[in-house]
Amino acid sequence: MTLVECLVSIALLGFAILMSSLLLGTGPRAARRLEAKREALGALENALEGVRAGAIPLEAGKIPLPLGPRPLCAGDLKVVLDVRPTETAGLYEVVADARYVVLRKSEHRGLTTMVWAP
């Protein structure tokens, strides 16, 4: 084996090691993003269920947290409601928006539902 062949094989081996380490590092980051999204959607669902049950007033504004378990991955989680009346008397469109930070990136998720006024 010549010196050139040795250098080429070392370069290929180094490239293979680098690529495999990059692939192994994406799994935990993806899992953290998915967990943060699940926590945000859980908080949104809890907020809308609280509005339907009458535990949270049917008015626009920020909802105090935690709604359910305290989020571990969705940092700085905030849930804001927007309430709009519809053409039907007593029926309201409720838009819940969750904003949070995961892996130093700001994200948001939203849910919309219709609610009868209590």
Query: What does each C-alpha distance from 19 to 6, 13, 29, 97, 111 come to in angstroms?
Result: 20, 10, 16, 38, 38
pLDDT beyond 80 at 23: no
- 93-101: average pLDDT: 94
pLDDT beyond 70 at 9: yes
Please give the residue that has the higher pLDDT: either 17 or 111.
111
Minimum mean pLDDT among 7-16, 53-62, 83-92, 105-114: which range? Answer: 7-16
> CA-CA distance, 20 to 39, in Å (whole number)?
30
Percentage of residues of the chain with pLDDT beyond 70? 93
Look at the domain 36-116 and name its fold.
Answer: Nuclear Transport Factor 2; Chain: A, (3.10.450)
pLDDT beyond 90 at 1: no
Domain ranges of the chain: 36-116
